Amino acid sequence: MQDHDRPGFTDAELLDNMPALRCFARRFHSSTSDIDDLVQETIAKAIAHSGNFRPGTRLRSWLFTIMRNTFCTKFKMSKREYVGEIEDSADWASSPPSQIWEVRGHELEVAISALPDNYRTAVDLVFLQGVSYEAAADRCGVPIGTIKSRVNRARHQLTKALDTE
């Protein structure tokens, strides 16, 4: 490598920091190829953004910051991406048969109709009609805490009724 006209550091200084960068990269990756990739990307970014380096600061600290930020950015992006086998993609893209949802929907209707009237009214207002707890309490002429209690108790009864274990 040839020393280029960069403010604050030379190619030789970058090379001197390679062992420390490799050691630091082991905190993020265990695979040798991933470590090498992270070090290479860090060096490339350091060279590309050498104008941002402030003379008088520690080059190693600056490189470690670049490496940490590079890893964090890639980690965040990888969490958003689905990476799977080709055979897994068929399962991922498929949906369960609609008959199951029709049966479960009917079971839910039966379970709701079996609730006591005051629970059924609370569930109907809050969940089915999308009315706020406050508005449901006003319509039923009861305190808001009563509506919340009725909805909670109805949830527990519905959970027991629909439990398929």
Which amino acid belongs to residue 98? Answer: S
The end-to-end CA distance of the chain, in Å, is 67
Domains of the chain: 8-80 (1.10.1740.10), 115-164 (1.10.10.10)
pLDDT tens by residue, 62-95: 999 999 988 888 877 766 665 555 555 555 555 5
Q: State the pLDDT confidence band at 1, using cuts at 50, 70 and 90.
A: very low
Q: What are all long-range contacts of 103-107, with beta carbons under 8 Å and residues at least 24 apart?
A: 104/162, 107/161, 107/162
How many CB atoms within 10 Å of residue 135?
A: 15
